[in-house]
Amino acid sequence: MTRPTIGVLALQGDVREHLAALAAAGAAAGPVRRAEELAGIDGLVVPGGESTTISKLAALFGLTEPLRAAIRGGLPVYGTCAGLIMLADKILDPRSGQETFGGIDMIVRRNAFGRQNESFEAGVDVAGVEGGPVEGVFIRAPWVESVGAQVRVLAEHRGHIVAVRQGNLLATSFHPELTGDHRVHELFVSAVRAAG
């Protein structure tokens, strides 16, 4: 699998930026909005967006259960920001009825770094990404409160966990897709290749 096919969950959020970053990182990328489209992909990105909206739309259009099954079956998934929330087994402060896909044994706190006025950029060292810190763009970003034994912490910012990996699942609080730096997407594309 030299050029894996990676879908971007296209219910809402910064889908186009992920498609471009995945293409630059060597994948064939396309949007995914329906359960039957999950069959044709080697990996999936859950983009940034509003986690409450993505959660509701996924449930409404019958994507939640098929995606959970795909994750249990080993589908590699990368989530950024809202995507990180969607991959968490538990949200500390969920809105009523907000359900995640889960898969990563962690508890996340939504909007943990604050509202938009507190949104920021900072360099972040990510384990497994060579060549110096990545440009971290944090927008009303969540952080990871705690992780289980199977979860590897890849990065922290000021003492808070902002990147994790568990098996084929990768998640970051920040948005590499908004920068021209594709190294985190390359890390995910290699994980997809290895899983295939």
Partner 1 sequence: MSTTPSTGSTPETGTARVKRGMAEQLKGGVIMDVVTPEQARIAEDAGAVAVMALERVPADIRVQGGVARMSDPDMIEGIIGAVSIPVMAKSRIGHFVEAQVLQSLGVDYIDESEVLTPADEVNHSDKWAFTTPFVCGATNLGEALRRIAEGAAMIRSKGEAGTGNVVEAVRHLRQIKGEIGRLRSLDNNELFAAAKELRAPYELVKEVAELGKLPVVLFSAGGVATPADAALMRQLGAEGVFVGSGIFKSGDPAKRAAAIVRATTFFDDPKVVADASRNLGEAMVGINIDTLPESEHYAKRGW
Residue 81 bears catalytic tag: yes
Using alpha carbons, list the distances in angstroms from residue 127 to 51, 113, 145, 155, 161: 26, 22, 19, 7, 12
Q: How far is the CB of 1 from partner 1 (least distance, A)?
A: 29
Catalytic residue among 17, 18, 81, 186: 81
**Contact set for partner 1, span 93-112 (CB under 8 A):** 93, 95-97, 110-111
> Which one from 157, 177, 182, 185 is the annotated catalytic residue?
177
Of 37, 89, 99, 125, the residue at the interface with partner 1 (CB under 8 A) is 125
| 69 closest CA partner among 27, 101, 117 | 101
Could you tell me how many residues make up the chain? Answer: 196
Yes or no: say if 167 and 102 are a contact pair by the CB < 8 Å rule: no
Any catalytic annotation for residue 18?
A: no
- Under a CB-based contact definition with an 8 Å cutoff, are residues 153 and 180 in contact? no
User: Interface residues with partner 1 (CB under 8 A)?
Assistant: 10-17, 33, 48-50, 52-53, 56-57, 60-61, 81-82, 93, 95-97, 110-111, 115-127, 133, 137-140, 147, 149, 151-159, 175, 178-179
